[in-house]
Amino acid sequence: MSKNAGQLVYSDYWNDHLVEIEDKGDLRSLYFGDRSLQSRMSLSNPQALILSYTCHMALPLLINPSPRNILVVGIGAGSFIRFFHHHFADCRIDAVDYSPQLIEAAKDYFHLPENKNIFLYCADGRSFLQDSSSKEYDLILIDAFDDQGMAPTVYSELFFSLCADSLRPDGVISCNLWSDDRARLQEIKTILADCFTSCLYLPVPDRGNIIAVAMPFATPWPRICLKKKAAAALTRQYGVNFHQLIEGARRNNLSLSERLATWLR
């Protein structure tokens, strides 16, 4: 380990894959394999979204600002569970991950909350939705990665079709995609276009992540393109730069003339 590395607090092999947890200053980080960063938490402010891609995945709060039922596919270190439980304490959160070791690590090292509104399931995301056809969600967050990339059973036509069937009429999905494999990325975009009425794409600056926000209705641009004062208020409330998210959504999904028509005032 280099002299600039932090303090290693956990190291083990899960199914022959190295997993490490490291503290450096106020930050605790989860790494897979060859130091591939999976998740990060502030020890002093554990409910905050630290990694930029997780902040971008909060864009659906502009579309559905009061989620009552949330599904998280891919628990990781529990960032979304901590964030949404902190801001929506009465919301039910179903959280699914195929790895029992990861769920235990999130409990032991990342302050994963456990109470009557949080339900943890050790299962494959697709299998969970197939077995839970009666449930409906306001928000589905998908971040199912391992050290090999996007989980193939989750990033599939059947899975996204199940997501569409599991959304309430005003529900939204927020999905973390990786841009390194262009053919695979285009395949997923085609699937999302087939399963949902509209979809926005937000490339995360200086990262390989692209966040897809899909919904079973036309994109509600008046809800997304808030005035600067309203965006600033949300930024203070959630600790997420909503002005940046709004500008990213506009820049990457609207033509110049459309952007001018929705300009933040």
- Kindly state the percentage of the chain with pLDDT values over 90: 78
Phi and psi at residue 32, in whole multiples of 5°?
A: -115, 150
* Structure-token match 């490339």, residue found: 203
* Structure-token match 């554990």, residue found: 46
Band of residue 195 on the pLDDT scale cut at 50, 70, 90: very high
pLDDT, average across residues 53-66: 97
Per-residue model confidence (pLDDT) at position 72: 97
pLDDT at 154 over 50: yes
Of 4, 6, 38, 41, which Cα lies nearest the Cα of 19? 38
pLDDT at 248 over 50: yes
Q: For 182-199, b where at least 16 C-beta lie within 10 A, e where not — what string?
A: eebbeebeebbeebbeeb
Q: For 218-248, b where at least 16 C-beta lie within 10 A, e where not — what string?
A: ebeeeebbbeeeebeebeeebbbbbbbbbbb
pLDDT, average across residues 179-190: 90
Identify the H or E element spanning 193: helix 182-195
pLDDT at 1 over 60: no
Per-residue model confidence (pLDDT) at position 48: 98
Band of residue 255 on the pLDDT scale cut at 50, 70, 90: confident
Mean of all residue pLDDT scores within the chain: 92
pLDDT at 15 over 70: yes
Which residues, listed in sequence order, are joined to residue 23 by a DSSP beta bridge? 7, 28
Spatial CB neighbours of 198, under 8 Å, sequence gap ≥ 6: 214, 215, 217, 218, 219
Q: pTM of this prediction?
A: 0.93
* Structure-token match 């090292």, residue found: 109
pLDDT at 120 over 70: yes
Domain 50-219 in CATH 3.30.1360.120? The answer is no
